[in-house]
């Protein structure tokens, strides 16, 4: 059992054991420099000088991450599996499975790119349909989608909005089928250059356009 040293205040373990060679070691009851106990740690002895991180696999048994498995690989972390996947039905088999019983799953590559490649890719959100069940795409530059055909289908509504320009370009036929079509032009608040009710705008649509302009200015 781990105990706290009366001299240093650090955790120590009277059952500590190790099996060591010139290249690697297995430690039982290891207490790390940040005062965390590992039940078992498999570690490479002094990795190559080009590495600043340790190379190890550890089963943590104290601290905030009690019960965690921690793996550190200063080079590439590779998992190969699926030679004989678990058959689910006649068309599907599972070769790898990751499940978080509670909480989130985070994939982070702050200095690189995250790439997902497969024969088919499904993004499925199964929330309650009210305050959960969302799929969010956020980028600070551009979101690009490319395919021979792109289909959008919504049971309720589809909304597209742009703070500046919006371009629809179809060298072929553009078909709009709707029960009711409203076009609201950008507001011209001058009664001289654009009297209320002129062009495609009546007074109501002119007011809606002016309201959108005000909302855009407030957001900016």
pLDDT digits (tens, 9 = 90+) for 3-41: 555 444 556 667 788 899 989 999 998 888 888 889 999
The region that residue 141 occupies, defined by phi over 0 for left and psi between -120 and 50 for alpha, beta otherwise, is: alpha
Nearest to 13 by CA among 23, 22, 2: 2
pLDDT at 132: 94
pLDDT in tens, 79-120: 999 999 999 999 899 999 999 999 999 999 999 999 999 999
pLDDT in tens, 205-218: 667 767 777 777 77
pLDDT in tens, 131-161: 999 999 999 999 999 999 999 999 899 998 8
pLDDT at 163: 83
Q: Is the pTM of this model over 0.85?
A: no
| 66: Cα within 13 Å, side-chain hemisphere | 5
pLDDT over threshold 80, residue 188: no
Pairwise pLDDT comparison (181 vs 60), residue with the higher score: 60
Reduced to 3 states (helix: H, G, I; strand: E, B; else coil), residue 203 is helix
Q: Which runs of E-coded beta strand occur in 32-122?
A: 37-44, 56-60, 69-72, 86-87, 93-94
């Amino acid at each position: 059992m781990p105990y706290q040293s009366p001299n240093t205040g650090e955790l120590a373990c009277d059952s500590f054991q190790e099996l060591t060679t010139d290249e690697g070691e297995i430690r039982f009851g290891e207490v790390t420099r940040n005062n965390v106990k590992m039940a078992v740690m498999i570690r490479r002895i002094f990795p190559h000088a080009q590495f600043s991180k340790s190379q190890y696999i550890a089963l943590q048994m104290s601290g905030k991450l009690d019960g965690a498995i921690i793996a550190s690989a200063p080079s590439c972390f590779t998992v190969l599996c699926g030679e004989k996947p678990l058959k689910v039905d006649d068309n599907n088999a599972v070769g790898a499975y990751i499940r978080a019983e509670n909480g989130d799953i985070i994939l982070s590559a702050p200095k690189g790119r995250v790439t997902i490649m497969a024969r088919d890719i499904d993004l499925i959100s199964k929330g309650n349909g009210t305050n959960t069940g969302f799929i969010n795409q956020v980028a600070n530059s551009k979101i690009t989608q490319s395919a021979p055909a792109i289909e959008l289908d919504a049971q309720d509504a589809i909304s597209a909005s742009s703070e500046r320009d919006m371009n629809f370009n179809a060298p072929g036929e553009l078909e709009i089928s709707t029960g009711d079509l409203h076009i609201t032009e950008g507001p011209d608040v001058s009664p001289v250059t654009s009297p209320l009710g002129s062009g495609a705008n009546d007074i109501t649509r002119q007011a809606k356009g002016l309201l959108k302009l005000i909302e855009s200015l407030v957001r900016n």
